[in-house]
Amino acid sequence: MAEAHQAVAFQFTITPEGIDLQLSHEALRQVYLSGLRSWKKRFIRLKNSVITGVYPASPSSWLFVVIAILATMYTRSDPSMGLIAKIQEHLPVSQSLSAQCQTVVSAVLFSTLLWLSLIFTMRLCLKQLLSYHRWMFEQHGKMSNTTKVWVALVRIFSGRQPLLYSYQGSLPNLPVPAVKDTIKRYLESVRPLMTESEFERMSKLAIEFEGSLGNRLQWYLKLKALWSANYVSDWWEEYIYLRGRSPIMVNSNYYGMDFLYVTPTPIQAARAGNTIHAFLLYRRKLNREELKPWLLRSSVPCCSYQFERMFDSCRIPGERTDTVQHWQDSDYVAVYHRGRYFRLWVYKSGRMLTPREIELQIQKILEDPSPPLSGEDKLGALTAGDRVPWAKVRKQFFSTGVNKRSLDCIERAAFFVTLDDDEQGMMGDDPAASLDRYAKSLLHGKCYDRWFDKSFSAVVYKNGKNGLNAEHSWADAPVVAHLWEFVLATDSFQLGYDEEGHCKGNVDPKLPQPQRLSWDIPPECEEVVSQSLAVAQALADDVDFHVFSFRDFGKGKIKKCRISPDAFIQLALQLAYYRDRGLFCLTYEASMTRLFREGRTETVRSCTNESCAFVKALESGEEEDLCVRLLRLATDKHQNLYRMAMTGAGIDRHLFCLYVVSKYLGLESPFLKEVLSEPWRLSTSQTPVQQVELFDLVNHPEYISCGGGFGPVADDGYGVSYIIVGENMINFHISCKYSCAQTDSHRYGAQIRQALLDLLRLGEPGRTGNTQAKKDL
């Protein structure tokens, strides 16, 4: 009870002698320090807003301009060409100011206006420079003179020491492609997947759309592009993610894994302590904008807006559509363990708790013998089931009283932490099967021990392994991967553990106890929880997952073949799918459009005429020389498609937005309806390693991330995620559904292995057909 008394700043008692007021100095001190920390954060945000607002100039450059103008004036020359005198004429007349002072004030005002004009001009020039994308289509290592000049100008206009959001105002808007171009690229992409009659029918629908409704819809889309920062992103978030009424568990959320070969400590509380502390360190860097902007080729900035809702955010269910809410920095995290929910304070006296202090707090939760309250243990299943029942229950049973307070605590927390009683990782007599179980655990767990609506949930297992489950609507996987890389590296290489496996750091003995959340769950609500759990459990049980590391070779050997590693892997996936199913399918590969303001993703349609021609030639036993030439054509085509998608010349986001406009106007388009109903039976994504400098794979090759994965997009298809680690390893995460007799994740994984080996054999230098490719490259 001591902690409860300390939490009250003052108490008063009314007696016959009057009012007896008792102040708690410790509580007042905590209030003061908490307020001080809050004001410090506000000041940092204000300072960063000013720095970002004047970028690519700097606040100090204003003083330089003022001094330069004043110095010029004192040499009896007028750099303003009479403007300073005009400003002086319109200044309010004040007898307290001398004529000289009025001249100085006018000069300062002119200098400020000149400075702001220069900033606007520099930002406009940088925006125009960043709209140039021909550099991306040039052969690697062969830069044209135009691009060399462009790179020099970008560096000149980019300023120095940018903050995370410094480039936001200078990024170009995503261009709207011409309807004619998009339709042409679409028809080319579906040609290998259709018969002659099917393709002829689709071509007629496309031509009809282009000549009639397409131009009308395009006009509205161009109007939106002029008005908004990005003509795709807000609709993409709302209609693809937030309006979906099916479970987000498996269908939308994705996961990230721990190190493959190393568990830094076997102590669950210690791993949780370092992990939570590393997350908080990242949040502090994020709030201070100390994270470096992501630059392509060290010069071209990418959009950072997705980082804004990383922490203190939650998806809120609605009957028609969900919303994503973001709050100011929370000073606690929500923790789940054995059916109980806790509030764990991570700040005290205005400072962040040390890893050792967090470990001790986590240990208290692990040792807490109290049982779950009635209806509490499986409450998280509401976030795993269908969205409409969750929205109705939230409105009916969680809008007032103790349930609202506890739900607010979870939703407003910095992030969510699950202390899992299971042991996971690559272990035991069958390490391959254990990796598959590990993936399924991170993807869906027990269907009630994660809060799937939180922006992300950290999972720490009994044996010290950890992982992460992320909600998809607020950001894409590369943003979460950036966070996860930092956490893994900070945990192992900066924070570390003592010889016994415990966290390091001093401990304050007066830390408040973790707070149990209270609930009053009526039987009607428990019934909905049970129904949601049944839906989620059926979905989870149907997921067939296979994770494996391909160690025969990696990007090192692929690059020696003069082939893009991503194009190489995508072609291997096409070959493997053809061998697995005996046909080709519409294939989705996610690429990013973060070269543009508020850009997210675009689709690369990896199944092309060229890839199909190569696969057919190889499988029909054609001459090796022909297969090698077709291999080169297929990989070059894929690389070109990827570049076009990154530079705003994709297919699917444009057609999606045209479809949304048609729905707003109440118009039906058979062409758009058919395009958007086509299933993606092979959905793929690469997880990029973005912070290579954080890991030393030469001296510590065992500290290798296993990457992450996602569930299958189509009921009869595969979901494939892969991460290229170092020079000699590629990790694959393959998902499908047991309910489909035609798919098998392990069988497809074996086909991918063999396809990679077959492609390397054809692509190796010295093979027939590769001589000319060498000359070209």
Q: Catalytic site residues?
A: 472
Q: How far apart are the first and last CA of the chain?
A: 74
DSSP letter (8 states) at residue 125: H
470, 455 contact by CB (below 8 A): yes
743, 542 contact by CB (below 8 A): no
- The Cβ of residue 50 has, within 10 Å, a number of other Cβ atoms equal to 12
What 3-state class would DSSP assign to 598?
coil
Long-range contacts of 330-334 (CB under 8 A, 24+ apart): 330/412, 330/413, 330/414, 331/34, 331/414, 332/409, 332/413, 332/414, 333/276, 333/413, 333/414, 333/415, 333/416, 333/417, 334/409, 334/410, 334/413, 334/415, 334/416, 334/417, 334/451, 334/454, 334/517
Looking up tokens 């399924």 gives 440
Residues 6+ positions from 566 with CB-CB distance below 8 Å: 638, 639, 642, 686
Q: What are the backbone angles phi and psi of residue 481, rounded to the nearest 5°? A: -65, -35
Residues 6+ positions from 372 with CB-CB distance below 8 Å: 338, 339, 340
**Kind and range of the H or E element at 508?**
none
64, 383 contact by CB (below 8 A): no
Residues 6+ positions from 612 with CB-CB distance below 8 Å: 192, 574, 584
**Crossing angle, helix 213-227 and helix 196-211, to 10 degrees?**
60
Closest CA to 490 of 726, 722, 724, 264: 264
Rounded CA-CA distance 28/612 in Å is 71
Looking up tokens 């100039």 gives 57
Rounded CA-CA distance 736/751 in Å is 15
Residues 6+ positions from 239 with CB-CB distance below 8 Å: 656, 660
272, 337 contact by CB (below 8 A): no
**Kind and range of the H or E element at 140?**
none
User: Greatest CA separation found in the chain?
Assistant: 106
329, 283 contact by CB (below 8 A): yes
171, 130 contact by CB (below 8 A): yes
458, 499 contact by CB (below 8 A): no
> DSSP 3-state helix, strand, coil percentages of the chain (rounded to 5)?
50, 15, 35
**Kind and range of the H or E element at 460?**
strand 456-460
Rounded CA-CA distance 233/656 in Å is 11
Phi-psi region of 79 (alpha: psi -120 to 50; beta: other; left: phi over 0): alpha
Half-sphere exposure in the Cβ direction for 140 (13 Å, CA):
10
408, 399 contact by CB (below 8 A): no
Closest CA to 322 of 483, 415, 442, 452: 452
Residues 6+ positions from 98 with CB-CB distance below 8 Å: none
733, 722 contact by CB (below 8 A): yes
